Amino acid sequence: MDRPLVAVVLAGGVGSRLYPASRRHRPKQLLALGGEGTLLERTVARADFADEVVVSTRPAFADAVREAVPEASVLVEPAGKDTGPALAYATHRIAERFDDPVVLALPSDHHVEGEFEPTAQRGARVAARTGSLVTFGVDPDRPDTGYGYVEPGPDRGAYAEVAAFHEKPDAETARRYVEAGYYWNAGIFAWTPAAFREAAGAADAPLSPLIDALDRGDPEAGFAAVDPVSVDYAVFERATDVAVVPLDIAWDDLGSWDALRRILPADGDGTVVAGDASVRAVDATNNVVAGDDVHVSLVGVDDLAVVAYDDRILVVPTAAAQRVRELVAELDAEGEF
Amino acid sequence: MDRPLVAVVLAGGVGSRLYPASRRHRPKQLLALGGEGTLLERTVARADFADEVVVSTRPAFADAVREAVPEASVLVEPAGKDTGPALAYATHRIAERFDDPVVLALPSDHHVEGEFEPTAQRGARVAARTGSLVTFGVDPDRPDTGYGYVEPGPDRGAYAEVAAFHEKPDAETARRYVEAGYYWNAGIFAWTPAAFREAAGAADAPLSPLIDALDRGDPEAGFAAVDPVSVDYAVFERATDVAVVPLDIAWDDLGSWDALRRILPADGDGTVVAGDASVRAVDATNNVVAGDDVHVSLVGVDDLAVVAYDDRILVVPTAAAQRVRELVAELDAEGEF
């Protein structure tokens, strides 16, 4: 592709369900869970085929991001308002700096294994050639109820048209989606600034006040004028011309502690260990332990996550790992997150 | 009583079921669980009516004991061989130093609330007057299967003769014992050196080689000649003349983490907290948390003990708290206790 390809890595979130590893001052993308180097470092390295990698983050994380990935340029969002405003701002700034670029957007806090570049390049070419908004779809290996799904429409060879996006389903619906060949929506996208602008700036779209303000050169006012909103809701679900490119990699959003079971090997007791924790299990099976420099003994317990970072300890059944959200909401309300 | 009363506080054990609060270098009696000051400090204070308080301990704990209770004299056992040899040695040394003493022996690692002195004095008088070995019996408030029981025989006013000692029973047997008016064997005793010597030194008794060696002035050889053995087995269960004096106090051996539930108040979630831990429970009930300067979050878990000291964390159902023994045996075998 002769147009410049600019990767935008989104690193403004916190990932609260991985508390207490993730905290307000130490977001999920700065953790080294499930591999060598932090998730952010691995994401930036994964995008190194792009002509430039831009990391978009909130002011509080900017220094940590600069330190973690000095090879990337850092774009500081005027305010943390979810992925919609962040990507509108990044796309606008990239269009100013590059000549006719294609934008590749990717989350910084997912676990990915396999060859990313070929499919990413293909998606970028589809975005450039067709003017479609492109989403990358992961082939599901289970009827996960924690992800959104992409329903493919007519197959166009390098891509399929998107027939519809579907929110996180219940178990029965998820099974149906998997059987029907739907994809997981991995949160990885490609577009041209023109295509993005057209969809995001439509008169009734949530981001249109921001798009207008960016045109006027007043991003602060633009961020003030919009509510936090995901790019999925604010742009993709409203766009008429969306393509899906299958992404043939092992992918996990590492959203909560039970996910470690999927990406790390278990020992004979079914124990999965992340970080520098050492574990002794006495009649204890299928537990997840995470922590640094900690020695955890489990006696007669099953299917628990035991997590220890700093002076914080969390114990939760892996089946209830999503409920850490409720905990963090309480902690956050009291300034303890 | 005009004979000198010398209290022997036994502080040579480790209390491994309270791991990781208790460790090889920090035995249970040096912990402050369930009250102000360490269990040892509280025990020595409880015995302050005695003419002298002697703390018997193993060499490794001697310095810590001297520091913790400078008001007591410290007797260092030649070797840690359980309560039988320790009390034979202490009784011998006390008989050398005091004129016709009565010995009051008490564990250093139990939780006691209430007036101890009047009953202790009564037991000492019974020991002096009758020449019996005296054990103190706690009136059970539940059919606990973790304690030994004392079956009282004929009532003699200030005491009852002991009909029999019973090992830790099963649940049905424990219920029968409680209904029949048996006592818990609290491990608190009184005797004269002569009475102790006669029972412990009988020709076929486990401690007789040690008693002989003490007479010869060679305690090291005496300790080498005997196996670890409890005073209950080596002396009391063999003696023909044993009395029980009811001890009307709240007593708990604080043997394992579930015991905290009995001696500490619970919050609205049924959470019991020992030490300086702070706890947040989200849909989590009846848990026991212990630790210093640690912040523990419990989400969707019930009836667990979560314990954190140093870099060690333990998670065990309170109902399985006795099984920490198995864990510690493993850790100990690998030098990690």
User: Is A282 at the interface with chain B, CB within 8 A?
Assistant: yes
A315:B297 CB<8 A: yes
**Of A20, A282, A313, which is closest to B323 when you measure between CB atoms?**
A282
- Provide the domain limits for residue A100: 5-252
By the CB < 8 Å criterion, does B290 face chain A? no
Tell me what percent of the residues of chain B surpass a pLDDT of 70: 100
Q: pLDDT of A103-122, one tens digit each?
A: 999 999 999 999 999 999 99
Give the closest residue to A39 by CA, choosing from A197, A182, A253, A211.
Answer: A253
Among A282, A311, A331, the residue with its CB nearest the CB of B327 is: A282
Q: Do B285 and B227 share a structural domain?
A: no
Q: State which of A252, A284, A318 marks the end of a domain.
A: A252
pLDDT at B35: 84
Same domain? For A261 and A226 the reply is no
B329 at A interface, C-beta within 8 A: no
**Cβ-based neighbours of B215, under 8 Å, separated by 6 or more:** none
Q: How far apart are CA A80 and CA B305, in angstroms?
A: 39
| Three-class SS of chain B | CCCCEEEEEECCCCCHHHCCCCECCECHHHCCCCCCCCHHHHHHHHCCCCCEEEEEECHHHHHHHHHHCCCCEEEECCCCCCHHHHHHHHHHHHHHHCCCCEEEEEECCCEEECCCHHHHHHHHHHHHHHCCEEEEEECCCCCCCCCCEEEEEEECCCCEEEEEEECCCCHHHHHHHHHCCCEEEEEEEEECHHHHHHHHCCCCCCCHHHHHHHHCCCHHHHHHCCCCCCHHHHHHCCCCCEEEEEECCEEECCCCHHHHHHHCCCCCCCCEEEECCEEEEECCECCEEEECCCEEEEECCECEEEEEECCEEEEEEHHHHHHHHHHHHHHHHCCCC
Question: Could you give phi then psi for residue B262, rounded to 5 degrees?
Answer: -80, -25
Residues of A in contact with B317 (CB under 8 A): 300-301
Total domains present in chain A: 2
B237 shares a domain with B183: yes
Note whether A327 contacts B: Cβ–Cβ < 8 A. yes
Q: Which has the closest alpha carbon to B14: B55, B58, B56, B54? A: B58
Residue B210 and residue B197 share a domain: yes
B216 and B311 inside one domain: no
- Domain end among B221, B252, B283: B252
> B263 near B254, Cβ under 8 Å?
yes
- Least Cα separation, residue A269 to chain B (angstroms): 15
B222 shares its domain with B125: yes
B300 touches chain A (CB under 8 A): yes
Residues from chain B contacting residue A312 (CB–CB below 8 Å): 294-297
Q: Are residues B80 and B119 in the same domain?
A: yes
CB-CB under 8 Å, A301 with B331 = no
A-to-B residue pairs, Cβ atoms closer than 8 angstroms: 112
CA distance A293 to chain B (A): 7
Q: Do both A272 and A316 map to the same domain?
A: yes
pLDDT attached to residue B2: 83
| Closest-CA distance of chain A to residue B287, Å | 11
Q: Which residues of A touch B324 (CB under 8 A)?
A: 299
* Residue spans of chain B under pLDDT 70: 1
pLDDT in tens, B224-241: 999 999 999 999 999 999
Are the beta carbons of A24 and A337 closer than 8 angstroms? yes
**How far A316 CA lies from chain B's nearest CA (Å)?**
5
Spatial contact of B113 and B250, defined as CB atoms under 8 Å apart: yes
**Domain at A59, CATH number:** 3.90.550.10
The pairing of strands B5-10 and B102-107 is: parallel
Contact A320/B at CB under 8 A: yes
What are the chain A neighbours of B295 within 8 Å (beta carbons)? 311-313, 336
pLDDT of residue A44: 98
ipTM over 0.95: no
A300 and A154 in a common domain: no
pLDDT tens digits along B50-91: 999 999 999 999 999 999 999 999 999 999 999 999 999 999
d(CA A104, CA A123): 9
Contact B297 A314 (CB under 8 A): yes
Of the candidates B22, B323, B334, the one whose C-alpha atom is nearest the C-alpha of residue B315 is B323
Element (H, E) at A282: strand A278-282
pLDDT value at residue A34? 83
| Statement to judge: residues B205 and B96 lie in one domain | yes
- A293 touching B (Cβ < 8 Å): yes
CA B264 to chain A, closest CA, distance in angstroms equals 22
Q: Chain B within 8 Å of A276 (Cβ-Cβ)?
A: no
Residue to substitute from B17, B23, B282, B330, interface A, most A β-carbons within 10 A: B282
Q: Which residues of chain A have pLDDT under 50?
A: none
The last residue of one of the domains, among A223, A252, A281, is: A252
Write out residues 202-241 of A within 8 Å (CB-CB) of B. Answer: none
Q: Is A22 exposed, middle or buried (0-12, 13-18, 19+ CB in 10 A)?
A: buried
Report CB contact under 8 Å: A295, B336.
yes
CA max distance for chain B: 65
Residue among A294, A298, A327 minimizing CB distance to B311: A294
B329 plus B210 within the same structural domain = no
User: Cβ of A300 and B320 within 8 Å?
Assistant: yes
Q: Chain B partners of A311 at a C-beta cutoff of 8 Å?
A: 293-295
A85 shares its domain with A186:
yes
| Single-letter amino acid, residue B111 | H
